Amino acid sequence: MATSTFLFLSLLLCSAAVDHCSPSTDDPTRISVIPIYSKCSPISPPPPPSSSPFDTINRLAANDHARLASLADDDVPIAAGQKLFNVGNYVVRVSLGNPNQTFAMVLDISNDVTFVPCSGCSGNCSAANPTAAFFSPNASGSYWSVDCPSDLCSLLPNGGRTCAAGKCRYKQSYGGDSRFAANLGTDWLAIGGRYIPGFAFGCVGSVSGGSVPAQGLLGFGRGPLSFLGQTEPAYSGVFSYCLPSFTSSSFSGSLRLGPKDQPGFTSTTPLLRNPRRPSLYYVNLTGVSVGPVKVPIRSDSLAFDPRNGAGTIIDSGTVITRFVGPVYAAIRKAFRKQVKGPFSRLGAFDTCFPANGQEAEAPSFAFHFEGLDLMLAVENTLIHSSGRPLACLSMAAAPNNVNSVLNVIANLQQENLRILFDVKNSVVGFAGEVCN
């Protein structure tokens, strides 16, 4: 496969006096994707007026360790992507039931089973979030509680699946300190104007420890109970998204479903499958360049190994890209050689330097995948402090837990880029696009 280079640039958009938060007209294949801390987000109260993009990103990045730890939680012996931390970064509008009950669900590509807090949910179902919403099965004329045993129920992980009064129930870890119990049910699901009958999802009845997303989660993992698995006849296992910048608080990105109207992707990189973590989107990262320098990285530090989960994934819920320890150390060393210090730590970032104009000369990055090179502009690798004149490298080392062997390509490095996932053909494609 010929190697191609994609460069995506952040554009400064000047907004007129227009209500950018007015709902867009979704169609069956194009759905708005809204950052959770955006002014347009219906799922979270707005941050304090003094909150800057750096404050928001630093606050979200503080949850990365919990998310990455949960990606390999041994509580439930199934795909790591079944468990994530308690703050999602992007939401989409989804309706369940007949008549419709509408929710702003967290979009997560490392999770399979869609779930929503249901009426009567006990425990920490919403963490006192005033934007919490609950699905009412009794208010829907088409809700069905899945029988146990049944073929549909058997698709849930063995470790968390139980039968209660002939109905299918399951328990799932969520983040580092919480666990929830849900009934598996089916009902109509509507997204972007398309109605999907008999969609299976978890109706959350109790939460212990931390909270669950205030209005539920839409699972876009690779398993049979994920949105893709259940809608394969309609969308052929194909979707793409374009994530807006955290600095564009009044704009939304987009989610496209199905192969129709996807942009042309001249080159792609293979999707790899890990039988022990089948939900996750593994790709073959072969190297990293910082400016003109190809960073010296041992091949075994990037190698895909299904036995221990090693390799590289693309994730929609982690904020800043994480590299395994030796890889990040080599990248940081190459970056610091090309930027003047002194260097300091600030929040989640350990390579901050004086923002006296030299950040404009900071080196660009290239992620080398099998079959293509993805070029990142400086705007996608640096973040500026709001409190002092500092710029920080927006990457970090993997946490020191079971996922210390996992590289994660995260939100900040995906902004203003259309990423295509073709599960049926096992490829991922990249194309530059202004997503705001």
Mean pLDDT of 248-259: 80
Q: What percentage of the chain exceeds 90 in pLDDT? A: 53
d(CA 167, CA 164): 5
Return the CATH number of the domain spanning residue range 28-256. Answer: 2.40.70.10
d(CA 249, CA 21): 10
80 has a pLDDT exceeding 50: no
Q: Is 108 a catalytic residue?
A: yes
Q: What's the whole-model pTM score? A: 0.83
d(CA 101, CA 113): 19
Stronger pLDDT, 285 or 159, i.e. the higher one: 285
For residue 175, name the pLDDT band (cuts at 50, 70, 90). low
pLDDT digits (tens, 9 = 90+) for 357-395: 777 789 999 999 999 999 998 888 998 887 778 899 999
Q: Which of 73, 187, 315, 373 is catalytic?
A: 315
- Mean per-residue pLDDT over the chain, rounded: 82
Return the CATH number of the domain spanning residue range 258-432. Answer: 2.40.70.10
* DSSP code per residue over 174-185: ETTTEEEEEEEE
For residue 197, name the pLDDT band (cuts at 50, 70, 90). very high
Sequence-separated (6 or more) residues with CB below 8 Å from residue 403: 68, 69, 71, 72, 309
For residue 21, name the pLDDT band (cuts at 50, 70, 90). low
How many CB atoms are closer than 10 A to CB 168? 25
Mean pLDDT of 119-132: 80
418 has a pLDDT exceeding 70: yes
Residue bearing tokens 């399979």: 112
Domain definitions of the chain by residue range = 28-256, 258-432
Q: Please report, for residues 79, 89, 245, the alpha-carbon distance to residue 54 in angstroms, rounded to integers and kept in the order given.
A: 32, 15, 12
**28-256 and 258-432 have identical folds:** yes
pLDDT digits (tens, 9 = 90+) for 30-73: 788 877 656 666 655 545 444 555 565 555 555 554 444 444 33
Q: Which of 26, 64, 73, 108 is catalytic?
A: 108
pLDDT at 370: 97
- CA triple 311-220-279, angle to 5 deg: 35
d(CA 220, CA 255): 11
313 has a pLDDT exceeding 70: yes
